[in-house]
Chain A
């Protein structure tokens, strides 16, 4: 009996440490006062509303959304055929290719960002948006390949062979048999990629230019100059957004099976 209570206490304490800070953010954002405080000086929703009025937040939110959606879609367009090739055929240097694809995850983000900026973006004169787009695509690619590979492994090769035997072309078999069967995996990869890209800071740090920043970087810049609860409110809103996406995905897809 004491053991049961002890174990509950341990779990409770750990969860408090891990999740407690979010409750604090949510309430700090509800403050009616003009400086960051907890417990808040009176409750109001004004900071939650104020967030939408900040021009730079709006701009960077749109940019982050664009990078997350566009980058992840591009990564999937590249990643699905790559995953298919890697898991179906014995490619020469298959292992090496896998390692290269994984590289943007292994190499610390800040180094990737700096390297790209100095040796690719500046010499080739890319625009900031273009550079960010490339970086985010490459960053999400490893996740796309891995998650899609995992769901391809659960798909029996026989089904595809059967389709081909029955007179379907290879391409037809891929689009009509393989793709529908790995839909779940692709969607899971999309969500994982979206969340990763949206929350990404180090890679974008050097690549962001004047006036063109992703949302997390804009938030850091904002909190360095002001000390009001709007960042808390925005953090809370973003947290709800992420949780909502993952929750919906889990509900309808059993998302955790794929990761």
Chain B
């Protein structure tokens, strides 16, 4: 109990630091922070990547979860285990694999130069694409697991019934599957989105200083510039976004079930 309480105090002090400029309480730090183009870019990029990763993993997650649920129980457990497996492995190891795949002499570039698509290796590392792929691989299992567990409660007859009544697959998805599994979607979405926002390793290794995200920007501000005002502001933004994502998604879930 004490250990946990011991944690909150320093975090709160850190957050308050963003509101102080030259020892006085003010919002000037925020105004200053928001006016810098780099900060705006990093902020928007973090939001964009978090959103894209959540969206993509939802699309792939639905397809995979649907297929897994329809497997024989015998295989289902095994496949489920394989999906969970990556979660147990060090994120450093998981991210490192992408260097081997996307690097200058990596697999993708060997293919590209080998087949003559391009004479010079294409740069994938330190691009948003690399960070996107890394994050997607890191967090997709969470989405798939949430979706599988909510799809297991979905009565199979419901889909069949909708088909018999003349719904096409798109309608089945939007009218039957989506409303009945939205809890899983909301939970998976929150986990993936907040996970992507607060990931450090992936943007640090795959993005470097070219593709900064809020977390890596925070690290840089502190270690390179000793700028604790910015650090406090970024910390506040991150925490607000995480809690905000939670609330919004919860609201969405409740709103839909009422209508």
A, B co-complexed: yes
Q: B200 interface residue, CB < 8 Å from A? A: yes
Given known A-B contacts A22-B97, A114-B218, A206-B222, A101 and B4 have beta carbons under 8 A apart = yes
Tell me the bound Cα distance from A231 to B204 in angstroms: 16
Would A219 and B92 count as touching, CB distance under 8 A? yes
How far, in Å, is B85 (CB) from chain A's closest CB?
7
Would B235 and A21 count as touching, CB distance under 8 A? no
Q: From B1, B136, B204, B205, give the contact of A78 (CB < 8 A).
A: B1
Tell me the bound Cα distance from A103 to B243 in angstroms: 12
Q: Which of A51-59, A115-123, A158-166, A180-188 contacts B (4 or more CB under 8 A)?
A: A115-123
Tell me the bound Cα distance from A183 to B228 in angstroms: 45
Secondary structure at the B interface, as helix, strand, loop or mixed, is: helix
Would A235 and B219 count as touching, CB distance under 8 A? no
Q: From B13, B71, B92, give the contact of A220 (CB < 8 A).
A: B92
Q: From A15, A24, A101, A120, give the contact of B79 (CB < 8 A).
A: A15
Given known A-B contacts A38-B100, A109-B200, A118-B10, A216 and B90 have beta carbons under 8 A apart = yes
Q: Which residues 235-249 in A have Cβ within 8 Å of B in the complex?
A: 235-236, 238-239, 242-243, 245-246
Q: B11 interface residue, CB < 8 Å from A? A: yes
Q: From A7, A18, A112, give the contact of B86 (CB < 8 A).
A: A18
Given known A-B contacts A100-B4, A223-B96, A108 and B242 have beta carbons under 8 A apart = yes
How far, in Å, is A74 (CB) from chain B's closest CB?
8
- The number of residues on chain B lying at the interface, defined by a beta carbon within 8 Å of a beta carbon of chain A, is 66
Tell me the bound Cα distance from A199 to B87 in angstroms: 10
Q: A168 interface residue, CB < 8 Å from B? A: no
Of A101, A107, A120, A245, chain B has the most CB atoms within 10 Å of the CB of: A107
How far, in Å, is A13 (CB) from chain B's closest CB?
9
How far, in Å, is A106 (CB) from chain B's closest CB?
7
7 A-B pairs closest in CB distance: A21-B97, A235-B93, A7-B67, A108-B198, A115-B10, A119-B10, A115-B14
Would A25 and B96 count as touching, CB distance under 8 A? yes
